[in-house]
Amino acid sequence: MPQLQVDPEVLERAARAASADRRTAEQAAGELGRAFTAITAALPGSQAAAAAELAGESLVAAVRSFAAELAVLAGALGAAATEYVAVEHEVSAGIERAGRRPL
């Protein structure tokens, strides 16, 4: 039967990376919003301005949605790391109580 080896530290590093990427995406969304505001202001009353405004709103919403997904991923990875550490401690304690030494 194949065994799965899980390194909680790897999960924790991945959670930190996802969290950092989330912050970067949130900053990018704000910068995109400001950039598209400037673009639409430079094209007052034109169809191009309306199109730029719609494109900007859509892009900002997509980047914010991506940031939210990264937040969920970071939370799940962090929770998985915590759970694996707890299970490792529980298994080790059970083995010691049974009078055996962990491998």
Which CATH number covers residue 46? 1.10.287
Question: Does residue 46 form part of some domain?
Answer: yes
Domain carrying residue 26? 8-97
Question: Does residue 45 form part of some domain?
Answer: yes
Question: Does residue 103 form part of some domain?
Answer: no
* pLDDT mean by block of 10 residues, the chain; 103 residues: 83 96 97 94 88 94 97 95 89 78 57
Structural domain count of the chain: 1
DSSP string, 43-65: STTSHHHHHHHHHHHHHHHHHHH
Question: Does residue 102 form part of some domain?
Answer: no
Q: What is the pLDDT, as a whole number, of residue 82?
A: 93
10-44 in b/e form (b: 16+ CB < 10 A) is ebbebbeebbebbeebbebbeebbeebeeebeeee
Question: Does residue 91 form part of some domain?
Answer: yes
CA distance 72 to 62: 15
